[in-house]
Amino acid sequence: MTAALKLISHKLCPYVQRAVIALNEKGVPFERIDIDLANKPDWFLKISPLGKVPALSIATDGGEVTLFESNVICEYIEETRAGAKLHPADALTRARHRAWMEFGSAILSDLWGLETTTDAAIFESKRQALTAKFARVEDALGDGPFFAGASFSLVDAVFAPIFRYFEVFDALGDLGIFTATPRLRAWRKALAERPSVKTAVGPDYPALLRAFLERHNAYLLKQPA
């Protein structure tokens, strides 16, 4: 039987991982279709106006409807599927969570610069920007283990793929980004151990990310180990 949900994805995309984690947390079956973003198929461009992953195709009585943008997809999953609640019930707390999800996207923007630049000055600028942003996150955290305490939320689904980058980066050298953030380090560890997070990527993820860095001749690869 064909899955009612089809998630169009890429193996390295952190935004895809958000949706995968949310689906896994809800226990929702779905079909994952990985594409090559350097050679996007025509059928994908027809259903994704921005030409980005993830895209979620939903089977309806009138045919397939496709959603794009990861936070939109996560919100849809939360609102329409049974299982664990990934957003707080309180409207103000829920809005605060959405704001931190957006902050996670801002962190990803700096991460992109850190991992793709070949320039030492730009690299250091992005390293400092990330250190400052993570310090803000540290101030927002409580006792854990997750962002909202004992309950796993969509904020966790956003930050887990961010931390996953550093599983590879840490092997290349100490960037010093998490030195002064003990609560964040504990949060990162808790997320790495979560089954929904572990299964959001394949076992080839570290090798694929390393190959990505090599293709970009990333300054990150020149760090002292």
Amino acid at 198: K
CB of 167 closer than 8 Å to CB of 206: yes
> Which member of 5, 7, 8, 13 is catalytic?
13
CA 157 to chain centre: 7
Helix (H) or strand (E) holding 5: strand 5-9
Whether 13 is catalytic: yes
Helix (H) or strand (E) holding 89: none
Residue 140: how many CA atoms within 13 Å on its side-chain side? Answer: 18
CB of 107 closer than 8 Å to CB of 151: no
Residues that are catalytic: 13
